[in-house]
Structure 1
Amino acid sequence: MRLRTKAELKYSFAEPTQIIGLLHAAKSPDQLLLSEVLEVSPDTPVSVDEGLSGDRRFRACLSGEVSVAYQAEVENNARQLLPVAGRQHVWGELPVEVLPYLLPSRFCPSDQFQRFSQREFGAAGDGVARVMAILDWINRHVDYVHGVSTAESTAAHTFTVRAGVCRDFTHLGITLCRALSIPARAVSAYAFELDPPDFHAVMEVYLENDWWLIDTTRLAPVEGLVRIAHGRDAADIAFLTTDKPCQLINQTVQVERL
């Protein structure tokens, strides 16, 4: 699927503020970047860094009222969907770079859910069957509702209130997978057919020697996701991180099929 993504963010910075932005489409084997442009107005020096995983961050020092616009065209026809069956690896088989995604993190206290996860999903079958059982449980028991969570809400909070938005669904899915020793990580993405359009949080699980994208909310097709970045949880994939407070004036996100 060939997609065009557009994002425009307008912020007010009361004083010179250092920022790290995550808007660029990632370079990854399942996603071919065809073209892109990043514009900052008023014109400001910007550096773009590419990580080993293909995630790209831009850095700048911004002040006053600033508009940041990003547009890209990507082709993701190499994207593979989660297979109907797949083996879960024992720890000794996992690549060393995958190991951090077994561990609890700031928003995903998986160590608190081991007993629950084993009881609810441990007998579901192979790795894919366990992941699907987790997704089914979340979609049966958690409602998609705005305003019941904050930027500080953890998966434990979502498990208690049984409601949240994409970030909360993703954190809960990651937490329950890790509690079963299935590596899982958070992914920020642009999402085709997401309504209303916005940045979207999804997750990846490591099974059968590969990472597989999954939309825990089931609101957007996986083949229509444009990967931006991945990390342990939302703290690693925020689209804007600043060293001083700032005010969001306006934000628009669009994804169209070409």
Structure 2
Amino acid sequence: MRIAIDVTMDYQLAGAETVLLTLDAAETDGQKVLQSALDIADATLHRIPGEGGTGARVCASVTSDRLKLRYSAVVDVTRSEIMLDALPQAGLGALPPEALSCLRPSRFCQSDLFVPFMGRRFGHLKGGAKVIAIRDWVKAEIAYVSGSSTPTTTAMETFVSREGVCRDATHLFCALARAAGIPARYTSVYGADVHPPDFHAVAQVWLDSAWHFIDPTGMVAADGVVIIGCGRDAADVAFMETAGNAYVVSQNVRVTRQ
């Protein structure tokens, strides 16, 4: 599937500063970037590797107090949807380093707090069947409500409130999967079926010696997303980071199938 991406952002900054951006489509398994362009007014750019070596971060040294950018890309997505139900879960000693780091608690995914709940609710399941059950539970229990959470909302807070956005559903899914001994990482993506249109968050789980997509909101499938970056939680792949305060003037994310 060929996917076109068009992003415009206009932010008021506290002053001239370096802005860290994670919004480039990654060159990674299952997708090929055919075209890509990033234009930022009054800025010099350089790129550094993304978290865990997936994708890249852009360091934009902005010389004014306004960040105005446009990013566009065309990406061929070649990965296909895979039935996860029968895939086995790896033992602790068989996990590679990249998966081990996604088995531990993190700032927004306090997986250690969910171990008793996971034993009671999903202890009878294993591997891919457990992953599917966790996904279905999160989708059924967590209402998608725009504006219901903040950038500091944790998985436990979402578990209690039973509402949030894609970021919150993904944090909760990752926390539950990790509590069950299944590595899960937070993955920022572009998706053509995301409503309202925006940057989107999904999870990836380590089963049968590979990473596999899970969208706890049910909006997108593996063959319809473009990976931007991956990490333990949203803090690792924030689309924009600044030293001072930044205020949105306008932002538009448009993702379409070609």
Range into which the TM-score falls when normalised by the shorter chain: over 0.9
Deviation digits for residues 11-45 of structure 1 (CA, Å, limit 9, x no counterpart): 11131222110010011111111110000113x21
Using the alignment, how far apart are the partners of 1:97 and 1:183 within structure 2? 9
Deviation digits for residues 148-183 of structure 1 (CA, Å, limit 9, x no counterpart): 211110000000011110000000000000000100
Which deviates more from structure 2 when the two are superposed, residues 129-138 or residues 53-62? 53-62
Using the alignment, how far apart are the partners of 2:243 and 2:113 within structure 1? 31
Q: Is the Cα contact below 8 Å between 1:88 and 1:207 reproduced in 2?
A: yes
Counterpart of 1:207 in structure 2 is 207
Using the alignment, how far apart are the partners of 1:119 and 1:229 within structure 2? 33
Counterpart of 2:142 in structure 1 is 142
Q: Is the Cα contact below 8 Å between 1:87 and 1:208 reproduced in 2?
A: yes
Counterpart of 1:16 in structure 2 is 16
Per-residue deviation at 1:82? 4.3
Deviation digits for residues 204-229 of structure 1 (CA, Å, limit 9, x no counterpart): 00000000011110012331111000
Using the alignment, how far apart are the partners of 1:81 and 1:114 within structure 2? 27
Counterpart of 2:94 in structure 1 is 93
Per-residue deviation at 1:80? 4.4
Using the alignment, how far apart are the partners of 1:233 and 1:148 within structure 2? 19
Task: Report % sequence identity.
Answer: 39
Q: Is the Cα contact below 8 Å between 2:108 and 2:155 reproduced in 1?
A: yes
Counterpart of 2:36 in structure 1 is 36
Q: Secondary structure at the match of 2:248?
A: strand
**Residue type matched to 1:50 in 2?**
P
Q: Is the Cα contact below 8 Å between 2:35 and 2:73 reproduced in 1?
A: yes
Q: Is the Cα contact below 8 Å between 2:193 and 2:220 reproduced in 1?
A: yes
Which deviates more from structure 2 when the two are superposed, residues 51-60 or residues 168-177? 51-60
**Residue type matched to 2:94 in 1?**
E
Q: Secondary structure at the match of 1:248?
A: strand
Q: Is the Cα contact below 8 Å between 2:135 and 2:215 reproduced in 1?
A: no
Q: RMSD in angstroms over aligned alpha carbons?
A: 1.3
Counterpart of 1:227 in structure 2 is 227
Per-residue deviation at 1:146? 1.7
Give the gaps of 5 or more residues in structure 2.
Answer: none
Q: Is the Cα contact below 8 Å between 1:169 and 1:216 reproduced in 2?
A: yes
Counterpart of 2:46 in structure 1 is 47
* Corresponding pairs, count: 256
TM-score (norm 2): 0.96
Using the alignment, how far apart are the partners of 2:182 and 2:54 within structure 1? 23
TM-score (norm 1): 0.96
Using the alignment, how far apart are the partners of 2:83 and 2:49 within structure 1? 27
Give the gaps of 5 or more residues in structure 1.
Answer: none
Using the alignment, how far apart are the partners of 2:107 and 2:68 within structure 1? 30
Per-residue deviation at 1:97? 2.2
